[in-house]
């Protein structure tokens, strides 16, 4: 039987942040290591919504902490125009 995920405040916050940044459900599920439908259902329950189209995010703080490995923004920049473009991080061939 599969192990049941215990949603924590940290996972909820990460889900809300990724959703607010406009990440796809595939990217969110890969980042949280859950199924796409688990991410969608949890987002619905905690009210994690995508911002309206007219929303303009504030400028990024240059003193912010670095993005974690596999963050959709950094991973997308690294893989743009390569054979890995569109592949989720981490790739299945990498050991966990």
Is 88:27 a contact under the CB 8 Å cutoff? yes
State pLDDT tens for residues 59-89.
Answer: 878 898 888 878 888 888 888 888 888 888 8
Q: What is the pLDDT of residue 1?
A: 44
Q: How far apart are CA 63 and CA 79, in angstroms?
A: 25
State pLDDT tens for residues 1-19.
Answer: 455 678 888 889 899 988 8
pLDDT band at 43; cut points 50, 70, 90: very high
Is 29:5 a contact under the CB 8 Å cutoff? no
pTM: 0.54
pLDDT band at 96; cut points 50, 70, 90: very low
Of 35, 29, 31, the residue nearest 3 (C-alpha) = 35
Q: How far apart are CA 81 and CA 96, in angstroms?
A: 26
């Amino acid at each position: 039987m599969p192990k049941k995920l215990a949603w924590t405040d940290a996972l909820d916050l990460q889900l809300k942040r990724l959703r607010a940044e406009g990440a796809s459900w595939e990217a969110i599920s890969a980042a949280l290591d859950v199924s796409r439908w688990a991410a969608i259902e949890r987002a619905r329950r905690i009210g994690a919504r995508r911002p309206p189209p007219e929303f303009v995010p504030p400028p990024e703080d240059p003193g912010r902490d670095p993005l974690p490995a596999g963050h959709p923004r950094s991973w997308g920049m690294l893989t743009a125009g390569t054979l890995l473009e569109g592949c989720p991080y981490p790739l299945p061939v990498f050991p966990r």
